[in-house]
Chains A and B, each alone.
Chain A
């Protein structure tokens, strides 16, 4: 089983719809992250959480929100999806002693 699991793997939605992407991990890490990947660009940080009670905005948080439901679960929501949020979204985890990031397989989101 994958250590970092993202659902769904693919999603097509319409402008204005609310979308939730989910991430769960079995690595026991405290730190979780949401990134988006666009063609020709590096991964960009949307939100991150260092523990259950901690939520921080990343580089491109506008239009997104997150919820850290438990140590193992971190969900990303698009309250009202727009076409320029079409991208590949990755969840990642790390622990406080080793900055190395472990990524899920990604969710390809298309907003029409």
Chain B
């Protein structure tokens, strides 16, 4: 199998609880951010994005918060389900330049 995420930080949450995954980004000029979900054996899948003129954006069961002051991005997952178990990583983009990806966090949902 893949060796993705062998050394990743892990967040374990109880099924039904809320999850918060954090990401510190590097470039204060970055203006566009994406959260991706990567399940075992699959490619990264888009979850939600946010532009730098916003500080919060909500999707279905997910919310992204952006704090430009401290260059911090978070992903909140409400009522975490077993299907949410995956590696989550953030990506930042600076005005159409190529994305810079974080290393990711492994989310484990406990029954």
Residues of A within 8 A of B (CB): 4, 33, 37, 39-45, 48, 58, 88, 90, 92, 99-106, 108
Please, how many angstroms separate the alpha-carbon atoms of A103 and B42 in the complex? 9
Q: A48-B98, A101-B99 in contact; A39/B4 too (CB < 8 A)? A: yes
* B residues 87-107 in Cβ contact with A at 8 Å: 89, 91, 93, 96, 98-104
Report A-chain residues with C-beta under 8 Å of the C-beta of B67.
none
Mind listing 27 A-B residue pairs with CB under 8 Å? Answer: A33-B98, A37-B4, A39-B3, A39-B4, A39-B6, A39-B7, A40-B5, A40-B7, A40-B8, A40-B103, A42-B100, A42-B104, A45-B98, A88-B3, A90-B44, A92-B43, A99-B32, A99-B93, A99-B96, A100-B49, A101-B34, A101-B91, A101-B99, A102-B46, A103-B45, A106-B2, A106-B41
Q: Classify the interface of chain B: helix, strand, loop or mixed.
A: loop
By CB atoms of chain B within 10 A, which of A37, A88, A104, A108 has the most? Answer: A37
Residues of B within 8 A of A (CB): 2-8, 32, 34, 41-46, 49, 89, 91, 93, 96, 98-104
Out of A42, A45, A99, A105, name the residue touching B41 (CB < 8 Å). A105
